[in-house]
Amino acid sequence: MITALVPGSFDPPTNGHIDVITRCAGLFARVVVGVANNPSKAPLLPAAERVALIEECCAGLPNVECASFDGLLVDLAQRVEADVIVKGLRAVTDFEYELQLAQMNSHLSGMVTMFVATKPELGYLSSSLVKEVASFGGAVDELVPAPVARALKERFAHE
């Protein structure tokens, strides 16, 4: 039984993230989504809300679980008994940084990282752009799952 760890900031989760998680759920026996707490990055949504949103979006995937984490990803991987880290790649511009992280994680613990190519139609999506569009009142309904769109509307309604 292979457990895949899909880590990220998920601030907020986008259709691209959910697509990668869904495809992992079809490939691996167990998928753990690791939500980096990252308080130093001043996230828009608190980690607990990001976890709750991913859980809601993945409610139909019984082999997916979600947890927030502080500290090193490889320590979370050990705690949840992950066999492999999986990250989505949108474009070659992602690759350099992701390769560096994968090699550092390999150095730290021997953990293997695998990459899933994002669907081409989702390749332009990023959490940062979604936040920017939502912050100016633009429509994000086609970019993020419905619960996330609702959370963003609520968040920016108060600004």
Interface positions with ligand PNS (CB under 6 A): 7-9, 36, 72-73, 101, 104-105
Give dist(CA 9, CA 148) in Å, integer: 14
What is the pairing mode between strands 30-36 and 3-8? Answer: parallel
By beta-carbon proximity to ligand PNS, the closer residue of 87 and 119 is 87
Catalytic (active-site) positions: 17, 41, 90, 127
- C-beta of 121: minimal distance to ligand PNS in Å? 20
CB of residue 126 vs ligand PNS: minimum separation in angstroms?
9
Which among 41, 26, 128, 42 is positioned nearest to 4, based on CA atoms? Answer: 26
Identify which of residues 7 and 145 has a Cβ nearer to ligand PNS in the complex.
7
> Cα angle vertex 23, ends 64, 41, to 5°?
65
Question: What is the 8-class DSSP label of residue 1?
Answer: -
- Give 73 or 149: the residue with its C-beta nearer to ligand PNS: 73
Residue 27 Cβ vs ligand PNS, minimum distance, rounded to whole Å: 19
User: Which element (helix H / strand E) includes 34?
Assistant: strand 30-36
Q: What is the Cα–Cα distance from 108 to 94, expressed in whole angstroms?
A: 21
Least gap, CB of 112 to ligand PNS (angstroms):
15
Nearer to ligand PNS, 9 or 118 (CB): 9
